[in-house]
Every structure is written in C-alpha cells, then in structure tokens.
Amino acid sequence: MQVTPGRAKRFRNETRIGLVRRARKMTRILAETYPDAHCELDFTNAFELLIATVMSAQTTDVRVNMVTPHLFAKYPTPEDLAAADPADVEEIIKSTGFFRAKTKSIMGLSAALRDRFGGEVPGTLEEMVTLPGVGRKTANVVLGNAFDVPGITVDTHFQRLVHRFGWTDETDPVKIEHAVGELIPKSGWTLLSHYLIWHGRRRCHARKPACGVCPLAALCPSYGEGPTDPAVAAKLVRTGPPS
C-alpha cells in the first residue's frame, strides 16, 4: 500500500458519520491486536495506583514497578506515607527521577486523603483532582482501573495517535478527551485508552512508526510516516512492556 493523493483526499473529505465509523472500526482492530491490554502499573488498590500514577511522570511504568513494592511495604496506607520521613521516601523513589517533587506530591496527597477523605481515595474526578499533584489524566487512570468508572487517559501516546488517526485536531488534553469521547461509546473509554497507549508504545512510535506492519494501515491518514516495507517495519515493533 502506498500513500496516494486519492487516499489522502478520502480522509480530508470524511463526513462526521464516516469518522465515527472509522474510529470505532479502528478500535475494534486494536482490541483484536491487543486483547490483553491493561494498565501496566502494578497495584492492589486505588491508593497504590494513585501513587504509582503520580510517580510515573517522566519515567517508565517498568521503573515505577521496580520501586513501588518497597515503598508500599514500608508505607502501605495514606496515613503511613503522610507521616513518613521525606528523605526516606526520596531515597526509595530516587530512580524514578524528579524524586523531590514527586515525594512532595505523594506525601501531600496522602495527607489530603487522611485529612479530607478518611484515608480513602475518592471515587469521583471532581474530588480526585483536588489532591496535590493529581490532574485529569491521573484521575482518569485511577477511576477507570480501580473504580471501573469509564475515563479517557490523554497521555503523550494517546495524543499522538488520535492526531495521526485524524480523530481530532484539538491540542488541549481536556478538549481531546471530550472530542474522542464523542466518537466512542462511554463504556469503552478505559479500554480505548489502553489500546492506544499499547499501540503507541509498541508500533506507532513518535519518531518512526512501524507503518508496514500496522493493522490500522488501511484506515490511517498518516500511513507512510514510518517505513512501509514490512521487513523493515517489523524490526521496529516492540513486544512486552517498554523498558
């Protein structure tokens, strides 16, 4: 398959109904491609996921998963973490980067959980974003994966892919969240986030997407941004969680 003027025009002239149908078909293909897609942060409860998600900024889930077992073994509850020695927390999470700012955030939100929510993570976006260091992206991760409340997680992978897919031209994360939410049924929002994040980490890379082996090639306006030769593209595919 090669990118042709006719193919590009087909996407430029796409109707709203056509966009909705294409977005949902792409989602079904991603579901078939990544049947095991899930949150790649390890957690056993909402508090652990909240802390891990805040810590995942500017680092990998793999790195966070190496640190959290020690952190949660020593400080298993908001009350414990809020009362911790900051220097000790910094030492435990140091390898995740920006450890001083992250320590301040996770200890601050732990104190807020203790003082304002009885030591429990609130189950609404409106309440969760009042916690230190918690924005809509983090809140939607926790709501979708710990509370089964549908949410769209607009991280860097998600934002890159919806632009490549031609689903929206919006650049503000909140506007992206709303625009994509209008294309996909609400019940599928959390899984959609996982599908796009997995696809972005494994095939649709920022610098060189593996277009030649992409299951979405026929439906993607950006086909050809990366190598289209299957043998070349196959070498770009990553399996398993990124390191």
Of 42, 61, 137, 229, catalytic: 137
> 148 exposed, middle or buried (CB, 10 Å; 0-12, 13-18, 19+)?
exposed
**155 annotated active-site:** yes
Using only C-alpha atoms, what is the Rg of the chain? Answer: 20
Which H or E run includes 78? helix 78-82
The residue annotated as part of the active site, out of 94, 155, 172, 175, is: 155
125-to-118, 141, 178, 185 alpha-carbon distances in Å: 17, 10, 14, 19
DSSP summary character for residue 215: T
CB atoms within 10 A of CB 85: 9
> Which spans in the chain are helix H?
5-12, 16-33, 46-55, 61-74, 78-82, 86-93, 99-116, 125-128, 136-146, 156-164, 173-181, 189-202, 230-234
C-alpha–C-alpha distance, residues 98 and 57, integer Å: 9
d(CA 30, CA 7): 22
Separation CA 193–CA 190 (nearest Å): 5
Taking the C-alpha atoms of residue 43 and residue 47, their distance in angstroms, rounded to an integer, is 8
Catalytically active residues are 137, 155
